[in-house]
Each structure stands twice: as C-alpha cells, then as structure tokens.
Structure 1
Amino acid sequence: MPVDERHIEFALDAAGVRGSLVTSWLPKAWEHVALQRARRQNLFTRRAPLQLIQRRLVRQFVPDMLRSYKLATGHPPIPCHDELFRRVDTASSKLVSEQTSAVIGRELGSLKSFTHAKEAGATNIYHLPTPHHETVRTILKRESAVYGDICKSTFDPREFDPERVENKLEELRLSDHIWCPSAFVKNSLVESGLSEDRISVIPYGGESEWLMRPRPQPDGSFLLVGNISARKGAHRLLHAWKKLKAHRTNRLVFIGPMHLSSHFLQDYKGVYEHLPRMPRSKLALHYLRASSLVLPALAEGFALVILEALSCGAPVLASRNSGAVGFLNDDEARFFDAGEDEPLLTALDWALTHPGELEEMGRAGRKRVATWSWDMFENAVLQQIRRLNIA
C-alpha cells in the first residue's frame, strides 16, 4: 500500500470518518508478527500492518496472491497490476450505497466505484500521484526516440493501451475533485483541459524520525534510489557520470531493482555500484553518509526519495519533472531540465566541485522538510474533507 494512501487512512480514522478501505492484502498486527517469526523474507513480510479503529479494512487476498504469482512467473507487470486494481474497484463498488458521502479512488482502480457513487449522489475524489498520462506519453516518446529499447519497464507500449487510456479519462471525468502531490502534476492536468478549481496540491511528508539523526562527514557517494530505470533518468545519469569521469574520485551508487538492459549497462562497467532494495533502517544510513541524491527523473508526481534524502540532510540534485519544484526553492535543492544532458552535467559538475555549498544546500533542504511532516499531510487531507463538506 503506497505510503500516501496509508496516511490518508490514518487521517480519516483519527477524525472518526467511518467507512471502508478496500485494498490489496495487508497484515494485521498479529499476522505481521507471525510472518516475522517465520523468518520468511518476501513481499508480504515487507508490508507493514495497518491498524484502523473507526474504519473497516477490506483486504483482497486472492487477487493479490494471484498477482504475486504471475509476477514471480514472468508475466508482464502492467496487466498483473491492472487486474488487481480492477478487482479492488469491483469490491469497492459493491460497498457504495445511498448512505455513501464520498469515494476516494486511485488511478485505474476507481471506474466502477466512481460510476456507482455518481448514481448515489456521492462525491468522487481522485487521488492522482502521477502526471497526466498525455504528459507522460509525450516525454517517454521523445526519450525512446533517442535511446531506443534500453528499459522495457519504462518504454512498455501497454502503458498507453487505448482501453487503459480511456479508463483513465473516464475516471477523470467522473471525479469531482482531484488531489495531487505537486505543481508538476497539477500543471499537467490543467494543460489537458481540466479546471484548476477541481485540483488541490497536497505534498507528501518528510520522515520525522530521521530529521534529528546526526549527519557524519559525507563519504563521496552520489545516490539514485528506487527503480533503476529510464523513467528515473538512470541512463542519462550514467552517461553524465562517465563523461565527467566522476567515477575516478566519487562513487555513483544505485539502490533498488535494476531495469536497464544488460546490453546498455555493458558500456558503464566500473562506473557505478548497484545495491538491491533494502530495509528502510539501512537505507537511512546510506542517505546520512551520501554526498547527494541525484534524480534526473523524466516524469514523477513527487519522488518520495527526495523527502527521504533531505530528512537525513543529504543534498538533492533533481530534474524539474521530479515533483519537488514549488515545494523546494533553489536554495534547498538544485533543479535542472529533464531529458537533456547538458543541464544534468552542469548540476553534477557544480556538486562535485563545490562540496561546501552542496552541504549547505542540504542543510537548508532539511530545514524545509522539517516544516512539512506526514502529520501535516494528514491535517491537509482533513481540511480538504471538511472543505468539501463530506465528513
């Protein structure tokens, strides 16, 4: 369950807003303990339990298990995820009644629920964490023309299947209000023709428990965290790092699943290090020691890794398509244009040659993140609920 959805539920539950959360399988507290004791490290042991008091948790166990099996046996990810979202939507739609005041839905998981809600006179809130699909399509088409098939997960034609796109458009049409995490997402929606009055920006929160941890002397590592893919700009980062010969003096460390093709990576042997996905406790240690997080993302709603890094004081170099523009200013992060080599090269060269100023920027970014926690995100959600008069 995405962390932003989890905090929306915390906000609703704490405010006593009754209703149901229909989602993939999440462990109850005792189930989580049992899984941990069984010492079976897999997808399900990584899922944190969700304890709700006022709200009912409706878990889609069988569809979730089926998705996991298909992914483990080599089925393409997009159809697997979409099928689970359809099952969740179907289950959710059956709970909509004349007593329902609002439905909060997510992209490709809301069509039936929103349709039933409209018929029942309820308010539909679309929680959209990513830019409008036409913005994403344009960006990825341009990048694919330059780099070809170096990353199947980024340049998967299934993402823009006509039926899939039509479902997204219908969900947008049925929505009364849209919550998004950044000005980048909002602007993409306005450019598509949606009214600005229907859209509210609610940024994600920083990691409060990491803010007070002491930051040691940076170790010279520059991190990219998350899916190591073309969508995250990993391919352009490798090109820039090699061109600057930065691997001779500093370390470029990728943390997360590798999605770039082995053929593409052959040209960059010895230029980078790769670590698999790791527990958050270990990830925080990497942020604390890093000289910088670098995120040349092509299209992100608001990359959570930016807030994670700044919560540990790690300076951030990020594209203007990372979602952080508007939340952070130029004193708190270094921004550059996405999908271009020269702006990224300039930002990296500055960071490598101005370590003192880079560290000062990281301190400023950490102060900014300290002013916007997940608690504040939850308060903003409740303000929206009250403003729409649906509590």
Structure 2
Amino acid sequence: MFDLARHLLALGEEVQMFTGYPATRVDADLRAITRTRPWWTLLTYARGLLPPPVTDTWWAQQNLDDFGPWLARTLDPCSIDILDALAGTGLEAGRLLHRHGRPWVCGRASTHILTQKALLEEEHRRWGAAPPDFSRGIARCLAEYDECDAIIVPSHFVKRSFIAQGVPADKVSVCPYGVDLSIFSPQPKRDERFRVLFVGTHSLRKGIGDLFDAVRPLVGRGQCELWLVGNPAPDARRVLHRNADIFIEKGPQPRTSLAWYYSQGSILVLPSLEEGLAFVLPQAMACGLPVIASTNTGAEDLIEDGVEGFIVPIRDPAMIRSRIEWMIDNPRRRQEMGVAARQRVNGFRGWEAFARASREVYLKAMSPTAAR
C-alpha cells in the first residue's frame, strides 16, 4: 500500500491514504497524506503478546468490522475520484462512493475467499489442525467482489480462482507486485554451505510441513542446511516442534535486513498452498537466488520453469526434494539461474510498474462508458 501511494504521487496523482497502522508505522514521507485508525491493530498486537496463543480470526475480524465503517465516516466522497480498498475494508466506503456516482476498486492479495477457504480447510485437516474460521469474513468479501467496479489481483493464479467462482474475467485485472531494487540486491555470502531458505510466516498455508518432509533426508545426510526467517504461526506449532531438529530459526527481520539473509541462501523454497503473489519471490530473485515455488504462489508470473528456478505442484515433498537435489548437484546451473532471476526482476520496473498498471484500472473504471 505504501509503495503504491508513493509511486502514484511520483506519477503526479493526488493521493489520500487511510490505514489501520499507527502513525509511527507509516513511512515518514507519506504521513502528511495519511489518516490512521490504529486502535484495533494495537489491541490485536497486544493480545498476541499474551498467553494463550491466538488461534482464531476474531481479533482480525473485529479490526475489519471497525475499520470499514470508520473509513466511510472519514473520507469525503466529493473529494475522491476513485477508491482503491483492500479486500475486507471497502464495502461501506464503496457504497458511499457509488451513491455519489464514483467508482471503487477492490484489491485482493490472495485467491477468491471461497477458494482460499477450501484450500486452507483441507490443509488444516491434512495436518490435524483446527480449521481457520471464515464465518464472519465471507459475506463481506463476496459483497465487495459483487459490488465493486473492478478487482485488482497480483497474479494469474489468483485471477483464475475468481473466474472459477463465477466472477467475470473482464472484472479482474492482474497487476503483479513490484520489488524495491534499492533495498534488495546481492550481498556477499559468508560461506560455501548449501543453504535452503524459507522466508515468511511458518504456517500450514505456506506449506511448511511439506518443506520439512522434503528437506529432512537432505539435512540428515548433511547435504544442506535450512534457515527459517519469519514468525511461527499457531496452526503450525506441532509441525514446527516435531521438526525442530532440522532447521535454524532466524526469527522475524526488518525489511532493510532481509537482503543479507537472502544472500546467505543458495535457494529460496516456497511450497505454499495459497498465495496471491508472494513478496518473498521477487525479493529473493533480486538478491540473485533461484527459487523453487509451488504453482499456488503466483510464481508463473515471475519465473519460467527451469530458467530462474522451478515451479512444483502443491503438496509434493518428493518433487521439492528432487529439485533441491538438482540444485545441489548442479552448482554452475544454479548460479546461472540466480543471475537469470536477478535479470528478470530488473526488467519489472518495480513498484512503478504496479502503480502504472493500477492507474490504468482506475482510468477504465472512471470512464464514462463504465457500467455502474
């Protein structure tokens, strides 16, 4: 959101930003154009510090239930040409804009919520974990998909999930996310160890169990090392505990430090069950890492299988292991893939391209011929 606002401003657009983050978490150059509603965000964060661990979506849903009406009360529909609201936040404000004859866009970072629900419920059953609670969020998201003028998604994988759920294809526009090349670039690797890197929340959604099943024999034979960067999720607690002997936990890291961690890896592996377009993929590629990613990460919009890395099916630890072994056995080709990955993201034009693509969606939604 911050990168989009910044690049829209650079393109000469006027931007107002509304966020649930506290003002201290808003980038300094954007605070003058930002209104914040941080109370439920802060309460949710504070609750997460206390036992027992949060295992449901109640706190997140309370945040959305508060933020949406607040946004509708706060913005001035007469001063706004179009609203771009993250899924779950824009229903009330979008309806307000429609009453004033103005369009609104829903930005969805993940698959259609019914697709997401089916995938995650199946995955939680697979690992013996309690299913995630979608009961309060589905109606809001489905109403947004139906009532908004356009939907922006980050990958063709996500777009296909919307089409499969009956959303017209011409309502969904693919605008791939960017990467900040001023932050993410190769840094010296401190050793010659072959190191598998996983960056992100250690969750069942991210395929952490399949990653462990894939690398356990390799770690056991001393062929590789596994680093996890990010926070553990409550739903994967038992899986993480059972596999604590095969990974090195590096914890959450600020974005400005991630390039060093990427550069200590030999490859990034992301076997997620469901993503929109994982930020970690272009970040790792910008740091010169080839990637092994599942079909459900949006990787097809970033890499060509066998050129910048490999795309593997979901829930296939054997295939992941085979691709890692190939990377171990072919160091020269692996290095060539890393160079190709860096070159690929260099051609993306980063977040500027995302802002330009988003602006094209806005202009189409605002055109006199657009149906509302």
- TM over 0.5: same fold? yes
Residue number in structure 2 paired with 1:123: 103
- Cα separation, partners in 2 of 1:305 and 1:14, compared to 1, 3 Å: same
In structure 1, the partner of 2:193 is: 219
* CA distance, structure 1, for counterparts of residue 215 and residue 155 of structure 2: 28
1:60-106 C-alpha deviation (Å, 9 max, x unpaired): 13333333333333555622222222322112212243454211111
Alpha-carbon distance in structure 2 between the residues aligned to 1:212 and 1:168? 37
Closer, same or farther: CA 356–194 of 1 in aligned 2, 3 Å: same
Kept after mapping to 2: 8 A contact 1:105/1:127: yes
Q: Is 2:222 aligned against 1:248?
A: yes
1:97 counterpart residue number:
77
More deviation, 302-311/343-352: 343-352
Q: Which AA in structure 2 matches 1:9?
A: A
- C-alpha distance in 1, partners of 2:311/2:184? 22
Q: Counterpart amino acid of 1:168?
A: C
Could you tell which deviates more after superposition, 14-23 or 179-188? 14-23
Paired residues, number: 361
Given candidates 358, 380, 386, the residue that maps to 2:357 is 380
Contact 1:315–1:365 (8 Å) recurs in 2: yes
- Please tell me the residue identity of whatever aligns with 1:344: I
Distance 1:266 1:25, change over 3 A: closer
Deviations 1:271-299 (A, max 9, x none): 11111112234321121121100000110
Which letter does structure 2 place at the counterpart of 1:71?
G
Tell me the residue number matched to 2:322: 346
SS in 2 for 1:204: coil
- Does structure 2 retain, via aligned residues, the 8 Å contact 1:233–1:297? yes
Aligned residues: CA RMSD: 2.4
Query: Which position in structure 2 is the counterpart of 1:67?
Result: 44
Could you tell me which residue of structure 1 aligns to residue 276 of structure 2? 301
1:201 lines up with 2:171 in the alignment: no
Question: Which residue of structure 1 lines up, in the alignment, with residue 27 of structure 2?
Answer: 49
Instruction: Tell me, in whole angstroms, the C-alpha distance in 1 between the residues paired with 2:250 and 2:106.
Output: 35
Output the CA distance in 2 between the equivalents of 1:360 and 1:228.
29
1:76-115 to structure 2, matched below 5 A, reads 76=55, 78-94=57-73, 95-115=75-95
Change (3 A) 1:292 1:218: farther
Structure 2 residue runs of 5 or longer lacking an equivalent are 368-372
Code of the residue aligned with 2:321 in structure 1: it is L
Measure the CA separation in 2 of the matches of 1:262 and 1:300.
Answer: 20
Secondary structure (helix, strand or coil) at the match of 1:105 reads strand
% identity of equivalent residues = 24
The CA deviation at 1:245 is 4.7
Indicate how the Cα distance of structure 1 residues 209 and 364 shifts in structure 2: closer, same or farther if over 3 A, else same.
Answer: same
Task: Please name the residue that 1:9 is paired with.
Answer: 5
SS of alignment partner, residue 325 of structure 1: helix
Are positions 1:58 and 2:38 aligned together? Answer: no
Contact 1:210 1:312 in 2 (8 A): no
Query: What secondary structure, in the 3-state scheme, does the structure 1 residue paired with 2:280 have?
Result: helix
SS for the counterpart of 2:347 is coil
CA distance in 2, matches of 1:218, 1:335: 25
Gaps of 5+ in 1: 33-46
